Amino acid sequence: MTEAGCALHAHVQAGPQAVKDSDRDAIDEDSRHTATDSLAFDDVQRDSPTFDYLLGVARGGGTVVALEIHPANAGEVGTVLAKQARTLEALAAHRCQACRIDAWIWVASSRVDLPPRSAKRWLLAQHGILGPHGRIDLRRI
């Protein structure tokens, strides 16, 4: 997920260990073993609204997933978009050439209250954000 010279490298943990216990239910239990490494952005960017986690997933040459666990309703779409922008800024600030995001995924922290064919869903899709979902299966990314 990162290279040895990257400032984020020191914060990367094996498997899904960087994901808080309270957030692990957002990831399908049978797929957690496919997480090769993980990083909790709160450990790196305190008091900065970024996506919650980066997860390396064993697929082909490796896939990096940005995961946001957040309430899922129309009023929160702007917040999630701002977190995506801030995450990109944070990655650029660390100047890590290996830091890339292959998939942006929003998982609902409670029920999903965002109509499937709404303008807000379209806006998320325009920014490459998948979801919000109730839970993700890392094997299907």
Query: In which domain, by residue range, is 47 found?
Result: 9-140
Q: How many domains does the chain have?
A: 1
| pLDDT class of 55 with cuts at 50, 70, 90 | very high
Q: Is 116 helix (H, G, I), strand (E, B) or coil?
A: coil
What pLDDT is recorded for position 19?
A: 97
pLDDT at 1 over 70: no
The secondary structure of 54-95, three-state, reads EEEECCCCCEEEEEEEEEEEHHHHHHHHHHHHHHHHHHHHCC
pLDDT for the residue 97: 60
Query: How many other C-beta atoms are found inside a 10 Å radius of the C-beta of residue 81?
Result: 16
Question: Would you say residue 27 lies in a domain?
Answer: yes
Let me know if residue 41 belongs to a domain.
yes
Number of H-type helices and E-type strands within the chain: 3, 6
Q: What pLDDT score does 60 carry?
A: 67
Using alpha carbons only, give the angle 4, 53, 130 rounded to the nearest 5 degrees. 120
Q: Is the full-model pTM beyond 0.85?
A: yes
120 burial via Cβ count (<10 Å: 0-12, 13-18, 19+) = middle
**Does residue 17 fall inside a structural domain?**
yes
Residue 64 C-beta-side C-alpha neighbours within 13 Å: 13
Residue 73, number of CB atoms within 10 A of its CB: 15
140 residue type, one letter: R
- The per-residue pLDDT for 100 is 82
pLDDT for 3-46, tens place per residue?
767 788 888 999 999 999 999 999 999 999 999 999 998 888 77
Q: Is residue 56 part of a domain?
A: yes
Whether 140 has a pLDDT exceeding 70, the answer reads yes
Quote the DSSP letter at residue 128: T
Q: Taking Cα atoms as reference points, which of 29, 21, 13, 19 lies closest to residue 136?
A: 29
1 within a domain of the structure (yes/no): no
In tens, the pLDDT along 57-105 reads 987 668 999 999 999 999 999 999 999 999 998 888 877 666 789 999 9
pLDDT value, residue 57: 94
